[in-house]
A = this chain, B = another copy of it.
Amino acid sequence: MTGTTPPKIVSPADNLSFECAQESCGFRGDECICRPMHNHFDKAQLRAARTLELNEGDQLAPEDFPEPVVFAVLTGVIAVESHLSDGRRSLLTLRLPGEYLDMNRADRHASGEVVALAPTSVKLLPRTVFEELLLLDANLRRIYWRRATDIMHQQFDHSSDLGKKTPTERMASFIFELRNRLNIPRFVEEFALPISRQSIADYLGLRAETVSRVFKGLEKEGLIKLVSKHQLAIIDFKGLRKIANGSRPRLSNHR
């Protein structure tokens, strides 16, 4: 745990606070697992679900989840972080509110630590409970198997960004990715950037300076507007979309 304060563990009250009323599981709508949990499990198991409040920069140490867990993000942002031997940092994947992260091997620091990129609250659910629940409920199973492949495709897209896109293209791509995953309504063009420039850079394989410059460049072209440092408005959706799809190669000619 590296943050300034240890994460505050909020245990559910005994009266089954895990019940669905406030969507306390972290999942919304069809994906909510509170009701099926309530139907299938006893109090002890329900109580196994904890809430963690994290500050920006807090890392989740293996001690925080000795058994494999599923994280469900309520608010904020978490990421899987890895460091090369000389200190270079990468953010391998992000999870925004309403999304979940399955880290069944975090204890073995297989390929990264879980870290909060902003003030965040997450639900922790023992993986065994999550799996058992999926076995019991065919509908949930369908929904979560579908989500698992969505996550994989998201990861594919990210690889495509990192592999063959220019910094400008990556940033454009990232802006749309954020917008979609934050569920910003179609007609709203302004939204908040929930993470720092440095984190954006580490997620996109760039330097913070480059992120800054690209933002500035996109703004100068009238594609976006930086309302404030962490408030972004998309001005020209079409133009930005084009760039995101690869209309800004390094040099016009290639193969």
Q: Tell me the residues in window 92-144 of chain A with beta carbons closer than 8 Å to chain B beta carbons.
A: 92-93, 102, 104-105, 110-112, 131, 135
Whether the pair B205, A84 counts as a contact (CB closer than 8 A) is no
Whether the pair B153, A152 counts as a contact (CB closer than 8 A) is no
Whether the pair B254, A111 counts as a contact (CB closer than 8 A) is no
Chain B CB within 8 A of A225 CB: no
CA distance A89 to B155 in the complex (A): 17
Q: Which residues of B contact A153 (CB under 8 A)?
A: 105, 110-111
Cβ-defined partner of A84 (8 Å) among B82, B105, B203, B245: B245
Whether the pair A88, B135 counts as a contact (CB closer than 8 A) is no
Chain B CB within 8 A of A210 CB: no
Q: Closest approach, in angstroms, between the C-beta of A28 and any C-beta of chain B?
A: 22
CA distance A15 to B162 in the complex (A): 48
Whether the pair B102, A149 counts as a contact (CB closer than 8 A) is yes
Q: Tell me the residues in window 156-192 of chain A with beta carbons closer than 8 Å to chain B beta carbons.
A: 156-160, 162-165, 169
Cβ-defined partner of A86 (8 Å) among B89, B104, B246: B246
Whether the pair B255, A82 counts as a contact (CB closer than 8 A) is no
Q: Closest approach, in angstroms, between the C-beta of A34 and any C-beta of chain B?
A: 23
Number of copies: 2
CA distance A101 to B102 in the complex (A): 19
Chain B CB within 8 A of A59 CB: no
Chain B CB within 8 A of A74 CB: no
Q: Closest approach, in angstroms, between the C-beta of A238 and any C-beta of chain B?
A: 13
Cβ-defined partner of A162 (8 Å) among B104, B205, B245: B205
Chain B CB within 8 A of A60 CB: no
CA distance A135 to B164 in the complex (A): 39
**Contact flag A254-B155 (CB < 8 Å), given A131-B145, A163-B162, A163-B205:** no
Q: Which residues of B contact A80 (CB under 8 A)?
A: 156
Whether the pair B149, A92 counts as a contact (CB closer than 8 A) is no
Whether the pair A254, B85 counts as a contact (CB closer than 8 A) is no
Whether the pair A92, B156 counts as a contact (CB closer than 8 A) is yes
Cβ-defined partner of A163 (8 Å) among B104, B148, B160, B204: B204
Whether the pair B92, A205 counts as a contact (CB closer than 8 A) is no
Q: Which residues of B contact A163 (CB under 8 A)?
A: 90, 92, 162, 202-205
Task: Please name 10 pairs of A and B residues whose Cβ atoms are closer than 8 Å in the assembled complex, sorted by A.
Answer: A84-B164, A84-B165, A84-B246, A86-B249, A90-B159, A93-B159, A111-B156, A112-B156, A163-B202, A164-B202
